[in-house]
Amino acid sequence: MAAEQYAMFQELVGVFQGAKIQEGNVWEKLIFEVIRETGRYAMVENGHAVLLLHDEEKKGARKNHKVDIFCKDDENKVIRAYNSKGKSFNNTESSESLCKEYQLYKASIEHAYPGYAVTYAILKDEYDCKDSKMSKYKYLEANGIPVFNTKGYLMEQYGISTEEIEKKRQTRTIELLQERFRKTGITQEQLRLLTTGASE
């Protein structure tokens, strides 16, 4: 029985971890949807592919970058490209290499859309520039890649409140979790046995 319970536990860990990882994608999609609904841009796309500029000798380099939220205003010749970041932190990449990567993305968009004023910015959930853990983002800001607190920026730039978005995020994440759980085939009785520690 213990082996069966442990296997169930492992499966449940995967369900919850997978749902948590996908929550960032849910948030990004919701932000994309509300910006698109403003009608401010001629084009708003989620995952817009841009051909990357590379040195010819750079072998094995990625050919495209998918912009999380790509907004193109043809009338004013303006492009706003947003990279949506959740609450978590990734400290595996240096500030310098990350900045170079984002600068490459911006330059590639400028090359693909000549004559447009391009902003490549980070929308960071719960961003606080005074937090010492955010030093990587401060480095980006100092080197031409703006970083904004998602909630404040959406309100200031678009008049969008994130309260409704947050409710939708929670609802969609729970729906995602329920769907992932259903796919496991684990029954309520099996869960009861797992949580009560009952054994055969």
Q: What is the pLDDT of residues 156-186, one digit of tens each?
A: 999 998 888 888 888 988 898 888 888 888 8
Phi–psi pair at 164, nearest 5 degrees: -70, -40
User: Which helix (H) or strand (E) segment is 85 a member of?
Assistant: strand 78-85
Instruction: Please state which architecture CATH assigns to domain 39-159.
Output: 3-Layer(aba) Sandwich (3.40)
Q: Is pLDDT above 90 for 22?
A: no
Q: Write down the pTM of the prediction.
A: 0.80
Residue that wins the pLDDT comparison between 195 and 125: 125
Sheet order of strands, 64-73 included = 43-51, 64-73, 78-85, 117-124, 147-149
- At residue 92, the 3 state secondary structure works out as coil
Q: Domain limits of the chain? A: 1-38+160-200, 39-159
Report pLDDT for 163: 85
CA of 17: how far to CAs of 21, 144, 151, in Å?
6, 34, 25
Report pLDDT for 64: 92
CA 16 to chain centroid: 18
- At residue 54, the 3 state secondary structure works out as coil
- In sequence order, the β-bridge partners of residue 78 are 73, 117
Question: CB under 8 Å to 142, separation ≥6 — which residues?
Answer: none
